[in-house]
């Protein structure tokens, strides 16, 4: 009887506490709008808001019960264009139409703790 009670208490403690994570990836911030993706673990939704303030975005999710755990920044390098297939005197490998764009990405990591009793 004691073993069954212990197993029942152990199982309820595993399933009674959970947390929910949301990752917000800021794609573009300009004077007119803020474009970001929201990843809640099930789907990724792209959103655009007219107010380009990241601080207001953080406060909005904090008012919904989420806590900002960390902010990460990464660099996304895009290499677009074509490499010449043949090296000739007219088209040297040093002269190509490749474009390198450097995008700084900011990611906001939110956590929401839930108690499912």
Q: Is residue 9 situated within a structural domain?
A: no
pLDDT at position 96, please?
Answer: 59
Q: Is the pLDDT of residue 116 over 70?
A: no
CB atoms within 10 A of CB 112: 14
Residue 99 in contact with residue 81, Cβ under 8 Å? yes
Q: How many CA atoms within 13 Å lie on the side-chain side of 1?
A: 0
Confidence of residue 42 (pLDDT cuts 50, 70, 90): confident
pLDDT tier, 117 (very low <50, low <70, confident <90, very high otherwise)? very low
CATH number for the domain spanning 46: value is 3.30.1410
How many other CB atoms are there within 10 angstroms of residue 57's CB atom? Answer: 19
Domain with 107, as residue range(s), is 17-81+97-115
The structural domain count of the chain equals: 1
Question: pTM of the predicted model, to two decimals?
Answer: 0.62
| pLDDT for the residue numbered 91 | 54
Helix, strand and coil in the chain, % to nearest 5:
20, 50, 30
User: Is residue 107 included in any domain, yes or no?
Assistant: yes
Whether 73 shows a pLDDT value over 80: the answer reads yes
Question: Using CA atoms, how far apart are residues 84 and 98, in angstroms rounded to an integer?
Answer: 10
Whether 77 contacts 105, CB under 8 Å? no
Residues 6+ apart with CB under 8 A from 89: none
CA separation, residue 28 to residues 46, 48, 63, 67, 105 (Å): 11, 9, 23, 23, 8
Domain annotation covers residue 74 = yes
């Amino acid at each position: 009887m004691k073993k069954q009670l212990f197993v029942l208490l152990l199982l309820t403690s595993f399933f009674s506490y959970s947390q929910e994570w949301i990752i917000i990836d800021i794609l573009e911030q300009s004077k007119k709008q803020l474009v970001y993706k929201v990843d809640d673990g099930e789907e990724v939704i792209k959103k655009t808001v007219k107010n380009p303030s990241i601080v207001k975005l953080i406060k909005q999710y904090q008012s919904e019960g989420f806590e900002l755990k960390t902010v990460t920044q990464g660099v996304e390098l895009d290499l677009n264009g074509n490499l010449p297939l043949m090296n000739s005197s007219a088209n040297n490998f040093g002269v190509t139409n490749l474009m390198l764009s450097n995008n700084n990405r900011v990611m906001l990591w939110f956590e929401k703790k839930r108690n499912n009793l």
